[in-house]
Structure formats: C-alpha cells, structure tokens
Amino acid sequence: MPSGKARPPCRKSIVSRSWSSPRLRVYAGEDHLTLCQVSGRWRPYVQDKVLLPLMSTQASAVTAALDSWLTRHPLRRAMRSARLELVVGMPHVRYLLLPWDRQLVLNDFRQAMARALYTRQFREEFSLQELRFGALIHGRPLLAVGIDRTLVRAVAAVAHKHAASGIHIEPLLATVWNRFYPQLKEGGGTLLLAEPSRLLVIRRQAGAIIELQVRPSTDADIPALAQRLTTDAGGRIFAPRYAGLAESLPSVCLGLTTGKGFSTSADAAYAYALCGVF
C-alpha cells in the first residue's frame, strides 16, 4: 500500500546530481532564458547571471540561445565542468491530476490514465511529452507532469556537446514545491505560482496537491490575487518578479533569501532560476 507520507511532487535527474561541482542554473520562460553560474553548496554564490530574450517558446529557440551562450562561456573551467540544471516554465509544461485509484501503483495503468486525460484536456499528441509522476499518496490525486520531449532531448544534446558534468531538468512547480515544502506540508490552502502571462493555481491539503489549474494572467492581476490570499488560511504565492509584493504582503509571499551575487530585490528576474539555491 502506498505510504501516506507526503513527498515532493516531481523530481527526476537524467544524470545523478553531484553537489560538489559548479552549476549552471537555467530557467526557460515564455520569452526569455535566465542563466546563473553558481558555485558552492553550503554557501552558494552566483558568479555570473544573464537574461537572454527568446524569439519564440519553441525548443529550437531555447536551445539555440543556450548553445550560443555556452559557446562563449564554456562549462568546463579550471579542469572542472559544471552541471546544467534546467527549470522549465509553464509554456513548456503540461500538468495533470489523475484521480486516486489503487491501481495507480501499476505503471501501465497510470500511463494509460494519463494518456486518456491528456488527450481529452489538451487535444495534443501525447507522445510529444516526457511524462513524469509525483509521489503516490494514498487517497490523493496523482500529479503527472508532461515536459516537451523535444526540449528535453535538445537540452540534453547541448549539455553533452558542451561537456556538462550532468543534467537535471524539472518543472517550476517541482522547484518551488521542493524549496518551500517545510512551509507547505502542513494544513491546506491555495498556492499561486505566477509567471509572465500565466498563473498556476494549486489547492493543497496536508502536503498533497488536490486541485491544479493553469490560467492566463497579467501583471495587473497579481497584487489583487495576492491580497485575496490574506483571507485564505494557508494561502501562499510565489511571484518574485512583482516588485514590492513581498514587502506589502509578507504573510502570503514565498520568497528566497538574499545571497552572495543575488539580491531578492535587484535580481528578481533571476529568482526562478535560483529557487532552491537561496
């Protein structure tokens, strides 16, 4: 029988992680990439950071920008090669919640259920997604995350070309959930993840995701949505790029900590890439 203990919703390494090596943290958003070179585990510091505009959300645009930058800024320096860690934004991800069923312990069953729900909900080719599942919690829906398979393969090829020491790819939801899990595992409420033009709305209970929806949004929507969370017991929002929100509504805002080479106010654009580092 599946354990009732809640665990992070989705975490998968294509190559096992080694915290001793430097890291290149990359966030792929709708119209830009942010890249941050990070060293140190216990006292991480950002050596360099850059924001690159994208012409489109297609995998080819993402990898072309990444490949071009890595050609000018090699991963391998002083006989050490960095690991590439990609945080994937909502334009490249599809989220599903599979209703609880005891047979979800069977891979074939959950794959078939995910395929049926995906086809009905998104009307896209299921084979275009690399599917990952969250932790199975008894009596709770199972989170399934589809990441653009073309993007995953193309980024892996770029990492191999530039001799990365390893590669780790995960959706922003997993990054944020893992970083703030100590604050999210108790009680319940609404969790909002805000990205430019998109909002991920999550209902959580006792460390489990029970409802999930992606909605369109604008910058103007975010302050009012955050204000409403003050009346939602356990309501939280991760919206680091919206200036002043954390200062005006500290009780509901999830925020990173300032670190060497990273200021939560001046470097807000890089918070999606550095979530989990600070």
Range with the poorest average pLDDT among 11-15, 217-221, 246-250, 273-277: 11-15
Q: Is the pLDDT at 158 greater than 80, yes or no? A: yes
pLDDT at 127 over 90: no
User: What integer is the mean pLDDT of 126-139?
Assistant: 92
pLDDT > 50? residue 12: no
DSSP 254: -
HSE value, Cβ hemisphere, 13 Å, CA-based, for 213: 7
* pLDDT score at 228: 93
Separation between Cα atoms, residue 214 and residue 203, nearest integer Å: 12
| CB atoms inside a 10 Å sphere around CB 168 | 20
Interval 151-171 mean pLDDT: 95
Question: Per-residue confidence at 40, pLDDT binned at 50, 70, 90?
Answer: confident
Question: Looking at residue 219, what is its pLDDT?
Answer: 85
AA identity, residue 165: S
Q: Which residue has the higher pLDDT, 19 or 116?
A: 116
Reported confidence tier of residue 78, pLDDT bands at 50, 70, 90: low
Q: Residue 267 pLDDT > 70, yes or no?
A: yes
Please give the pLDDT value at position 20: 54
Model confidence at 261, pLDDT cuts 50, 70, 90, reads very high
Residue 201 tokens read as 């709305």
Model confidence at 95: pLDDT above 50: yes
Say what the pLDDT of residue 79 is. 52
Q: If residue 156 lies in a helix (H) or strand (E), which one and from where to where?
A: helix 149-161
Percent share of the chain, pLDDT over 70: 91
Amino acid at 256: L
Determine the average pLDDT of the residues in 141-168.
95
The predicted pLDDT at position 90 comes to 93
Determine the Cα–Cα distance for residues 52 and 65; give it in Å rounded to an integer: 7
